[in-house]
Amino acid sequence: MQLLKKIKQGSPGWFLLTAGIILLLLIPNLNIIINLFGKAGENWEHVRDYLLINYFQNSLILVLASGLLAAFLGAGLAWIIAAYDFPGRNFLSWGLILPLAIPPYIGAYVYQGMFSYTGPLQTFLRNDFQLQLSQQYFDFMNIRGAIFIYTIFLFPYVFLMTKAFLSRQSASLLESSRLLGKNDSTIFFKIILPLSRGAVVAGSSLVMMEVLNDYGVVKYFGISTFTTAIFKTWFGMGDLATAVRLAVMAMLVIFVLLFLEKLLRGGRKYSYSTSNIRPLSRRKLKGSKKVLAQFFCYGVFFFGFLLPTIQLLYWSFLSRGGELLGTLNFALTSFLTGGGAAVLILTGAVIVATTARMSSSFISNLLARITILGYSIPGAVIAVGVLLFMLQLDQIFLFLQTGFGIEINLVLSSTLVMLIFAYAVRFMGIAFNSVNSGYQKIGESYFEASRTLGKGVTETFFKIDLPMLKPALMSGFLLIFIEIMKELPLTMILRPFNFDTLATKAFEYASDEMIYRAADLSLVLIFFSTAAIYLITHHRRRKNNAVEN
C-alpha cells in the first residue's frame, strides 16, 4: 500500500498549477456572490417589483417545456435506432446528431423567415392556391415557437446519451419481455424508459442548461428571460449592480435544476447476474412499421437540419455570394479564436485531470465538479463575473502604476484575454471530461510501471500518457472548438471593440433583417460544426465498432 501511494504521489508543480487553475475558475462566480452584498443599482427596485416574476415565468416555461419535449423526442429516436433495423438506419444514427450543428438562434431566424408574410410558405399559398390566411396562424415569434426551436435543435443531447446507454444493455431484457407477450410500445414505456431514466434526465438537463444560456432566440423573438434582462440592464441601462442580482437569480434557477436532476436520476443502480451479456440485437422492420420508423426519423432530420440548410442555401444564392471578403474575414477570426482558445483550455484541463488522477477519489470528484460548474451556468452570468474580475485586476494594475511607479501598460477588461478567459471558465468542464475519459480508458498500469522504474510524473506524462491520450485530446479539441464557434452571449458581451465572429455577425445581420447576408455566415458556421460532428462520431464509431454491431 505504501509503495502504491508513493508511486501515485505527484509533483508539487502539478498541484500548484491545478490550484491556480481552479482558483481562476472559481473567482468569477465568487465575484458575483460577493458583489450581491454591495449597493443595489437604481433600477433594481423597479425590476424586482414589476419584471422579475415575468423573467422567472418565461424562463421556467422555456426550460421545462423544452427539456420535457426533447427528452421524449430524443429517447424515442434513440430507441428506434438502437433496437430496430431498417433502410437508412446507419445514416440516421449520426445524421440525427446534425441538428446540433445549427445554433438555435440561426434556426430561429430561418424558421421565422419561412413563416413570415414574404416567406416561401405564405408566398406559395397566396400565389398557387390564392389563400390569404390570417397572420395569427403564422405567428412564430412567441414562446411556442421558441420551444419548438429549442426542441428540434437540442434534442440530440438526449438522443446521444440514451443511444449510448441502450447500446450497452442486454438483449435478454427485450427477449424476456416479448416472451411474456409485451408489445413494443409497452416495452418502451415500462422497461426502456425507466431503465434509461438516468441517461434521459442527464441529456434533458443539458438541453435545459442550453435553453437558460441562450440569448439569440429569446432576443430575436422578444421574450423576456434572465439572459435578455442581464443584457438590457447592463448595456441598455449601464447598471452593473442590477445585472449582478439578476445573475444570482439565474444561478439559483440553475442550482434548483441540478438538484432536480439528481433527484430524478435517483440512486438506483442496475446490474446483471452474469458477465456474459449479449448486446441488443436489432429487429428488422417490415411493412408499415418500417415506413413509420423511416417517416418519423427522416422527418425529424428534415425539420432539424435539412430544411433550414436548404433555406439558407437559397438565401445565400439570392445574395450572389454577398461580401465574400468579409465572410472569409469573420470565418478566419472565428477559426483562430476558437482554435487558440481550445488549445489553451485543453492544456488547463490536462493539468487538472492529471492531478485528479494522482489524487484521492474525494479530490478527484471535487475537481471534476468545479470544472463542470462553468458549463452549468449561463454565459451571460459568467460574463458578469469575468468582467468584475478583470475590472478588479485593472484597478490593481492602476494602483501599482500610480502608487509605486511600476509601468504596467495592461488593460484586461477590453481585450481578447478577457473573452478567452471567459471561454475557459465556461468550457473547461467539456475539456476535463474528454481528458478524464481518456485516462479511464488507458488505465493506470502504464503510469505505475513508469513510476516504479524511477521516472518522474512529468516525464511519464510526456513519454507515456500524452501519446496515448491523443484520441481523447482530439475529441476534446473539436468539442470545445465548435462550442466556441457557436457561442453567442459570452462573445456579444465581452468581445473587444470592432471584434466580430461568425456567430455575432450572423446574429446582428438577422436582427437587422439582413437575412441574405446572415445566411452566408450561418452556412460557414454550420459547415464547421457539421465537419466537427462528422469527425467525432466516425472516430468513435471506429473505436466502438464491435459494440455498435
Q: How does pLDDT run across 98-109, given as a tens digit for each residue?
A: 999 999 999 999
- Taking the CB of residue 259, how many other CB atoms lie within 10 A of it? 10
- Could you tell me if 114 and 121 are in contact, meaning their C-beta atoms sit under 8 angstroms apart? yes
- Could you tell me if 169 and 280 are in contact, meaning their C-beta atoms sit under 8 angstroms apart? yes
Q: Which three cell numbers stand for residue 115?
A: 413563416
| Closest of 336, 385, 361, 364 to residue 490, by C-alpha | 385
What DSSP character marks residue 443?
-
CA dihedral 512, 515, 520, 522 (to 10 degrees): 80
**Separation of alpha carbons 182 and 184, rounded Å:** 7
Residue 170: predicted pLDDT? 54
CATH of region 41-267+286-315, choose from 1.10.3720.10, 1.10.340.30, 3.30.390.30, 3.30.720.210: 1.10.3720.10
Instruction: Label each residue of 30-59 as H, E or C.
Output: HHHHHHCCCCCCCCHHHHHHHHHHHHHHHH
Residue 444: predicted pLDDT? 72
| Closest of 451, 546, 73 to residue 296, by C-alpha | 73
Residue 99: predicted pLDDT? 94
Please provide residue 283's backbone torsions phi and psi, each rounded to the nearest 5 degrees: -90, 135
- Taking the CB of residue 30, how many other CB atoms lie within 10 A of it? 13
- Could you tell me if 28 and 381 are in contact, meaning their C-beta atoms sit under 8 angstroms apart? no
Residue 522: predicted pLDDT? 92
Residue 217: predicted pLDDT? 93
| Closest of 500, 517, 101, 548 to residue 315, by C-alpha | 517
Q: Which three cell numbers stand for residue 514?
A: 439582413
Residue 450: predicted pLDDT? 72
Q: Which three cell numbers stand for residue 226?
A: 434572465
Contacts of 343 (CB under 8 A, 6+ apart): 477
- Could you tell me if 482 and 529 are in contact, meaning their C-beta atoms sit under 8 angstroms apart? yes
Q: Which three cell numbers stand for residue 202?
A: 442527464
Q: Which three cell numbers stand for residue 361?
A: 477519489
| Closest of 145, 147, 142, 178 to residue 72, by C-alpha | 147
Domain boundaries, the chain: 41-267+286-315
Residue 2: predicted pLDDT? 46
Q: At what angle do helices 12-35 and 240-265 cross, to 10 degrees?
A: 120
Q: What is the pLDDT along the chain (549 residues), one digit of tens a residue?
A: 444 444 455 567 778 888 888 888 888 888 877 877 777 777 888 888 888 899 999 999 999 999 999 999 999 999 899 888 899 998 998 899 999 999 999 999 999 999 888 888 888 888 888 777 777 778 888 999 999 999 999 999 999 888 888 776 656 666 666 677 677 777 777 777 777 777 888 888 889 888 988 999 999 999 999 889 888 887 778 787 888 888 888 878 877 877 777 776 655 555 444 444 556 677 888 888 899 999 999 999 999 999 999 999 999 888 775 677 778 899 999 999 999 999 999 999 988 888 887 776 677 677 777 887 788 788 888 888 888 888 888 888 777 777 666 665 556 777 888 999 999 999 998 888 888 888 877 777 767 777 677 777 777 777 877 888 888 888 889 889 988 999 888 898 888 888 999 999 999 998 888 888 889 899 999 998 898 888 887 766 666 554 444
- Could you tell me if 374 and 397 are in contact, meaning their C-beta atoms sit under 8 angstroms apart? no
- Could you tell me if 291 and 482 are in contact, meaning their C-beta atoms sit under 8 angstroms apart? no
**283: β partners:** 84
- Taking the CB of residue 548, how many other CB atoms lie within 10 A of it? 15
Residue-wise DSSP of 217-282: HHHHHT---HHHHHHIIIIIT--HHHHHHHHHHHHHHHHHHHHHHHHHH-S-----S-S--PBPPP
Residue 152: predicted pLDDT? 96
Residue 549: predicted pLDDT? 47
Q: Which three cell numbers stand for residue 233?
A: 440592464
**Separation of alpha carbons 158 and 537, rounded Å:** 15
The per-residue pLDDT for range 13-68, each reduced to its tens digit, is 778 888 888 888 888 888 877 877 777 777 888 888 888 899 999 999 999 999 99
